[in-house]
Chain A
Amino acid sequence: MRISGNSSRMRVTRVLCNYFKRYVEYEMRQSSGVDYKVPIYGWVRKGKRNWKYSQFHPLSAQGQMINKTSKENDLVEPIKDWKIFRGDRVQVLIGKDKGRHGLVNFIIKERNWCYVEGLNCEYKLEEEFEGQPLLKKTEKPLLVTSEVRLVDPADNEPTDIEWKYTEDGKKVRVSVRSGRILPLPAAAEDYYDDFTQISSYKDGDKDTNKEELQRVTFEPSLKSFEEDIFNQMGIKEDRKPGKTYWY
């Protein structure tokens, strides 16, 4: 018998960098909704009012197909300070794997979901493949608020945490029970906001060097931007602009 893991992973978070957010929202608007005419502006596409976030990314075809049939969204509990990150060790509080520890794989902030590696799985028998029955194993999401809790490294027991500041002014997580600091895992900081892995990425032809990036070339002076460029390129401007009115 063969076991296959789930291949497609969902990657949505509410914290997106500026360009990626704009890009995703544009694609969402294009895939759902209707065109209509605004009197002076022209033709505009208006998207679906409530997008249903699922385990599939809104850029993928599956994530867009779900939104054509679904109607209502589930209510999501608003969270002020997010506590659980990718790579954290947590304890499952519910289901078949109650009381077991695991590492957090993925997080979906829109639904307060997290996936724990190898836990809370669903098994499904599929058609035969090369003469052998195929068992498919998929991880099911867990609610961050009530179904999962962080593990204290002091005594391996679940705790609540608080965000506090150190004397240096750094923001850290502190466990309520033992008062020990829980540092952020390395996997949480290994990704940019647009989900590219920093450690695996290699610079291409169009990327700038790190030395070039960090070199300081700015020198403060009393010239405006135009005057500065004129000086460097040797352009002399003697003409005076005519009078204009601002209103």
Chain B
Amino acid sequence: MSLTFINIRTLSNATRQLIKTSLPGVSLHPTSAFNVHHKRPTICDKCIGCSSFHTSSKNYDLMEFFDDRANWKEKEIKTGRPWNIDELRIKSNEDLHKLWYVLLKERNMLFTMEQIYDDEVLTVPNPERKWKVDESMRNIVEVIQERERAINMLETGETGDPKVRKVMNFLGMIEDRTEKEYLVPKSENPEYQLLHPKFEKWMMKYLKLYNEKQLGEEQQLKKTKRKYQERLKKKFPHLTQEELELGWEQKQEEAKKFSSYNKYD
């Protein structure tokens, strides 16, 4: 059986299962990492001095990039929940530093395993593990930022975060811009000066058109809100004004789910 080329990365987990059930005989790459039974030659077999390089108690060498051999080709791998932010707040800086590298190694392992499963057209067991690790890493960063902010507030009276300022665009539009670090001052940076020039007269024509478009969009949004609330009121006449507002908020949250650009968010 010959299979046409499919980009497996774009398929969801459920559709992968559908493909597997409908085409049971598919095996594109017979020589994959799963089929290797002999022990791989590693660096530490040859030289003795290398063993001091490892800081962990067990030396798996390059096999640390892979999952446990018992978990290979298993359908379900049970894991716990990610670290809460409240649990991380009681830990010292040293513990957070260590935990970060434990999570980083785990994430690397998950990425390599995902690659292998993709090559062999298998479904990845419990793909939410990647999100679990990501969540606890985000929480660690947040806790460290909190502590840095507190020390900065004590010493200088300001949080150390980069400031947000209103800056004019190269099209004349005014927008928020978070400050960045540069090696040269503003006057000597030609790239910055190109993107943020002074106001000129020709900008006014396009600014007016842009403003008009924005007002139109605002009105359109108001119209859709009014019509949706009327529909709600017709079906459930006992609703109060607060609950109608809540219904509109919930509808907007639903739409937000599908409009984000980030792959992981």
Contact = CB atoms under 8 A, between A and B. Distances in A.
Given A75-B231, A78-B246, A225-B148, A19 B131 contact: yes
B51 interface: no
B127 to A, nearest CB: 8
Interface stretch (A44-52, A98-106, A131-139, A180-188): A44-52
Contacts of A64: 12, 14-15
A206 interface: yes
A245 B183 contact: yes
B114 interface: no
Interface in B247-265: 247, 250, 254-255, 257-259, 261, 263-265
B50 interface: no
A22 B11 contact: no
A217 B95 contact: yes
A78 B247 contact: yes
Interface in A54-107: 59-61, 64, 75-80
A164 B41 CA distance: 67
B90 interface: yes
A227 to B, nearest CB: 9
A245 B182 contact: yes
B129 to A, nearest CB: 10
Interface string B78-95: 111110000101111111
A25 B257 CA distance: 6
B236 A213 contact: no
A246 B261 contact: no
Contact of B135 (A19, A215, A217, A222): A19
A244 B181 contact: yes
Given A224-B148, A245-B181, A78 B91 contact: no
A218 B91 contact: yes
A204 B71 CA distance: 13
Contacts of B11: 30
A204 B78 contact: yes
B90 A28 contact: no
A234 to B, nearest CB: 13
B81 A29 contact: no
Contact of B89 (A59, A204, A218): A218
Contacts of B209: none
B239 A77 contact: yes
Nearest to A232: B94
B12 A31 contact: yes
B232 interface: yes
B265 A22 contact: yes
Contact of B80 (A33, A203, A223): A203
B151 interface: yes
Contacts of A51: 254, 257-258
Interface stretch (B31-39, B184-192, B215-223): B184-192
Given A61-B17, A229-B97, A245-B184, A47 B264 contact: no
Nearest to A46: B258
A129 interface: no
B258 to A, nearest CB: 3
B180 interface: yes
Contact of A78 (B127, B134, B154, B250): B250
Given A61-B17, A224-B151, A245-B182, A28 B258 contact: yes
Nearest to B253: A14
Given A26-B263, A225-B144, A247-B192, A218 B12 contact: no
Given A33-B258, A41-B261, A46-B258, A80 B93 contact: no
B243 A80 contact: yes
A45 B259 CA distance: 9
A163 interface: no
Interface of B: 10-15, 17-18, 78-82, 87, 89-95, 97, 106, 127-128, 131-132, 134-135, 144, 147-148, 151, 154, 162-163, 179-186, 192, 231-232, 235-236, 239, 242-244, 246-247, 250, 254-255, 257-259, 261, 263-265
Interface of A: 14, 17-20, 22-23, 25-31, 33, 35, 38, 41, 44-51, 59-61, 64, 75-80, 192, 194, 196, 201, 203-204, 206-207, 213-219, 222-225, 228-229, 232, 242, 244-247
* Shortest 8 CB-CB contacts between residues of A and residues of B: A47-B258, A19-B135, A78-B247, A30-B12, A61-B14, A217-B92, A31-B12, A207-B80
7 contacts: A19-B128, A19-B134, A23-B131, A50-B254, A50-B255, A60-B14, A245-B181
